[in-house]
Amino acid sequence: VAVEARQWALLNPKAWEREPLTVADVLGSRMVSHPLTVRDCCLVSDGGGALVVTSAARARTLRKPPVFVLGFGEALSHQSISNMPDLSVTAARESGAAAYRMAGLGPKDIDVVELYDAFTLCTLLFLEDLGFCAKGEGGAFVASGAIAPGGSLPVNTNGGGLSYCHPGMYGIFVLIEAVRQLRGECGARQVSGCHTAIAHGNGGVLSSQCTVILGSADTL
């Protein structure tokens, strides 16, 4: 997960981390909390973001192509991590299901995925819980190169919280990158034929999950 996030970051001139990263580098880096090394944890950086939200009618009159909210969902499963019903399952299952239902889409219809990767384990959990691979198969899915540049499912195309930036709260950046991809503004990291995107945020201690499905005008 960390290596493939870095591969995307190398295509992003504004990413904080701009040096190649290998699996050996990740495994050999400073341990933070077993089994997570410092390279399994998000950055600590400065940064900020903003979004303009308006009606579809108003958006069509503005200078840049609009991106449309097709569906969304949110779910809360616990407060304290000690009360998490199952450490391998998050409420992204519920928030994702609600977003898919509203959008009338499923995982196979999504072109790009932007996930809150506070830790490498978050990427695995959300890929599974949002339906991009079966429960327990996230590791093999990522190891196959699926989420890397050129893979079958582009994930965290800006480099994510692991390699792009993380100024305390990363959630707005998954939305910003999804919008940029849908507008075709991403240069070397642009996903070809991108018309749908998921932006997924995580809050608390894996407790609060929010999923938004965005689309270009071609999806309406």
Question: Helices 92-103 and 120-129 sit at what angle, rounded to 10 degrees?
Answer: 50
56 neighbors 168 (Cβ within 8 angstroms): no
Give yes or no: 170 in active site. Answer: no
163 neighbors 9 (Cβ within 8 angstroms): yes
Give yes or no: 100 in active site. Answer: no
Residues 118, 3: Cα–Cα separation, whole Å: 15
Residues contacting 56, CB < 8 A, separation 6+: 66, 68
Of 16, 132, 164, 173, the active-site residue reads 164
Residues contacting 32, CB < 8 A, separation 6+: 38, 40, 41
CA 96 to chain CA centroid, nearest Å: 13
Of 116, 119, 170, 173, the active-site residue reads 116
- Residues catalogued as catalytic: 116, 164
